[in-house]
């Protein structure tokens, strides 16, 4: 199936070959440049191809290069680094968003073919987690930032995450780092489909957004905002116990600014353990009927919303998702969107492993840190060692053929290499009472007992 050199990498580092194969299939230069021409609005290609920008920035996102400048020094781009930065700062938000959507559709199709998804949280419905992400402050490289003491925010975005497939399916980027997340909800509302179930925190519990979801014959499970005006229609009724606490429910009514009335269920979870903000009662509202999801199911689905927080942590920990040397908002948001693309590629690798090893609880036992470390250390050497033509087995293959090759590579993965290191409970810290007032002490003398 592979050439001699590629075969050696497939045997010794199959996960790295999987990621590179996915890059070749989904982001190969010819297809990507054709896609860009059909998607762009104002930006155009002159000396630097869109595929060259993606290849350059992906090296930084995947941590195979430390910076854009370092990646540029090893790239075959016939333009100056200044021209590259000029091109990056002009990447349109619609392009960044469309790239995430495009790759999400492709990766979901692969995961479905490999049967590597998770069981649906609510059969017959598509659950979508919604959360916001504010990019970290950039360095003060731009002229307009050099005399500012405050941290310059290059943008923020809303991200939609699908827990069944384990991928980021959509993103709504905004250049204004100070914008309210709620200001982006109209764009989100345009994407609502019937039978969606939107799960989000109280920041998104906005009257207008709730009615927009309901009018599209979709559903929501949202933590109630303290200022949401509602009319109780019944007393709280005890439903039962959940993993996190006692569950109660009552009927409530909302009235829109236009006078429309919406009857909902309000679920209260009296928690065994306080939330991060110290709350002992969690209030959740939903328009799902009780025969579809009882109060305990509603509470459990909301609890799983922390999955998107975990996804953001993985983006930050395993990928360079927020490149703070990119001060221009469009460039910084493009980098973040490429991190979402890379996250989805990792999701395909995890899905292939779940499909091949269904009894090993891949999500709980496999360390994505060790996976990312191996990919980061192996990728550069693999790129230099393997001729481009050998990757045509991925670049020119159908989605089904690529999926089957990924499953074959997953069977070669030696799982014990990537298992998480389990440790016991932390021991209490020993009080440091000796040698107080001394600047230092000799470790060798202490070990010798002198």
- Rounded Cα gap, residues 118 and 97, in angstroms: 25
pLDDT of residue 46: 66
Lowest mean pLDDT among 95-104, 285-294, 419-428, 439-448: 419-428
In this predicted model, what pLDDT tens digit does every residue of 318-373 receive, in sequence order?
Answer: 777 778 888 889 999 999 999 999 999 999 999 999 999 999 999 889 888 888 88
pLDDT at 298 over 90: yes
Tokens 């050998």, residue? 390
pLDDT of residue 305: 86
Q: In this structure, is residue 79 part of a structural domain?
A: yes
Q: Which residues contact 369 (CB under 8 A, 6 or more apart)?
A: 317, 318
pLDDT at 41 over 70: no
pLDDT band at 223 (very low <50, low <70, confident <90, very high): very high
Question: Mean pLDDT over all residues of the chain?
Answer: 90
Q: Of the candidates 339, 314, 322, 337, which has an alpha carbon nearest to the alpha carbon of residue 101? A: 337
Q: In this structure, is residue 369 part of a structural domain?
A: yes
Q: Say which DSSP state 323 is in.
A: -
The answer to whether the beta carbons of residues 204 and 130 sit under 8 Å apart is yes
Tokens 């499909």, residue? 355
Hey, is 417 helix, strand or coil?
A: helix
pLDDT of residue 44: 61
The answer to whether the beta carbons of residues 264 and 295 sit under 8 Å apart is no
Q: What long-range pairs does 187-192 form, CB within 8 A, spacing at least 24?
A: 187/158, 188/130, 188/158, 188/160, 189/213, 189/216, 191/160, 192/216, 192/218
pLDDT of residue 235: 95
Highest mean pLDDT range out of 44-53, 297-306, 322-331?
297-306
In this predicted model, what pLDDT tens digit does every residue of 57-69 receive, in sequence order?
Answer: 988 888 888 888 8
Q: In this structure, is residue 107 part of a structural domain?
A: no
Q: How many CB atoms lie within 10 A of CB 346?
A: 25
Q: Enumerate the β-bridge partners of residue 404.
A: none
Dihedral of alpha carbons 326, 332, 336, 342, sign: negative
Pairing between β-strand 237-241 and β-strand 261-271 as defined by DSSP bridges: unpaired
pLDDT of residue 401: 95
Q: In this structure, is residue 341 part of a structural domain?
A: yes
Mean pLDDT of 18-35: 90
pLDDT of residue 2: 82
Q: In this structure, is residue 338 part of a structural domain?
A: yes
Q: Say which DSSP state 421 is in.
A: -
In this predicted model, what pLDDT tens digit does every residue of 179-194 receive, in sequence order?
Answer: 888 999 999 999 999 9
Q: In this structure, is residue 135 part of a structural domain?
A: no
Lowest mean pLDDT among 193-202, 242-251, 317-326: 317-326
Number of domains in the chain: 1
b (16+ CB within 10 A) / e for 357-396: beeeebeeebebeebbebbbebbeebeeebeeebbebbbe
Q: In this structure, is residue 115 part of a structural domain?
A: no
Q: In this structure, is residue 366 part of a structural domain?
A: yes
pLDDT of residue 62: 83
Hey, is 232 helix, strand or coil?
A: strand
pLDDT band at 411 (very low <50, low <70, confident <90, very high): very high
Task: Domain of residue 403: give its range.
Answer: 4-92+320-418
pLDDT band at 284 (very low <50, low <70, confident <90, very high): very high
pLDDT of residue 214: 96
- Rounded Cα gap, residues 16 and 11, in angstroms: 10
CA distances from 200 to 118, 162, 284 (A): 20, 12, 10
Mean pLDDT of 404-411: 96
pLDDT of residue 352: 97
Hey, is 137 helix, strand or coil?
A: coil
Cα distance from N-terminal residue to C-terminal residue, the chain: 65
């Amino acid at each position: 199936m592979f050439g001699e050199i590629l075969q050696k990498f497939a045997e010794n580092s199959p996960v790295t070959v999987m990621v590179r194969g996915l890059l070749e299939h989904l982001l190969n230069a010819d297809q990507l440049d054709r896609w860009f021409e059909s998607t762009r609005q104002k930006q155009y290609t002159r000396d630097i191809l869109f595929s060259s920008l993606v290849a350059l920035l992906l090296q930084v996102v995947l941590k195979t290069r430390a910076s854009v400048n370092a990646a540029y020094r090893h790239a075959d781009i016939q333009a100056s680094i200044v021209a590259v930065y000029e091109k990056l700062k002009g990447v349109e938000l619609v392009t960044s968003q469309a790239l995430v959507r495009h790759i999400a559709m492709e990766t979901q199709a692969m995961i479905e073919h490999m049967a590597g998804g998770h069981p649906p949280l609510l059969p017959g419905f598509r659950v979508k987690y919604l959360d916001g992400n504010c990019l970290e402050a950039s360095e003060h490289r731009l002229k307009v930032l050099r005399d500012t003491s405050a941290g310059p925010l290059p943008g923020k975005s809303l991200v939609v995450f699908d827990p069944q497939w384990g991928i980021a399916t959509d993103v709504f980027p905004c250049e204004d780092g100070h914008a309210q997340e709620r200001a982006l909800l109209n764009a989100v509302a345009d994407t609502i489909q019937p039978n969606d179930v939107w799960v989000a925190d109280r920041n998104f519990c906005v009257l207008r957004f709730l009615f927009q979801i309901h009018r599209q014959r979709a559903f929501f499970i949202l933590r109630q905002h303290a200022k949401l005006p509602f009319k109780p229609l019944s007393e709280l009724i005890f439903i039962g116990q959940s993993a996190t606490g006692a569950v109660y429910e009552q009927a409530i009514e909302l009235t829109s600014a236009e006078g429309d009335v919406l009857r909902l269920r309000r679920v209260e979870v009296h928690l065994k353990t306080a939330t991060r903000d110290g709350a002992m009662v969690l209030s959740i509202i939903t328009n799902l009927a009780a025969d579809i999801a009882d109060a305990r199911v509603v509470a459990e689905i909301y609890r799983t919303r922390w999955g998107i927080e975990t996804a953001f942590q993985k983006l930050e920990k395993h990928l360079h998702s927020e490149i703070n040397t990119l001060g221009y908002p469009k460039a910084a948001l493009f980098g973040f969107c490429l991190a979402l693309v890379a996250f989805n590629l990792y999701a395909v690798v995890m899905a292939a492993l779940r499909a091949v090893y269904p009894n090993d609880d891949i999500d709980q036992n496999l360390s994505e840190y060790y996976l990312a470390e191996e990919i980061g250390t192996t990728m550069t050497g693999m790129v230099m060692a393997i001729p481009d033509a050998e990757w045509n087995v991925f670049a020119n293959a159908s989605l089904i053929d690529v999926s089957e090759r990924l499953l074959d590579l997953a069977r070669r993965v030696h799982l014990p290499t990537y298992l998480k290191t389990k440790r016991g409970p932390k021991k209490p810290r020993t009080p440091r009472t000796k040698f107080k007032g001394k600047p230092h002490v000799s470790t060798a003398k202490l070990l010798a007992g002198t």
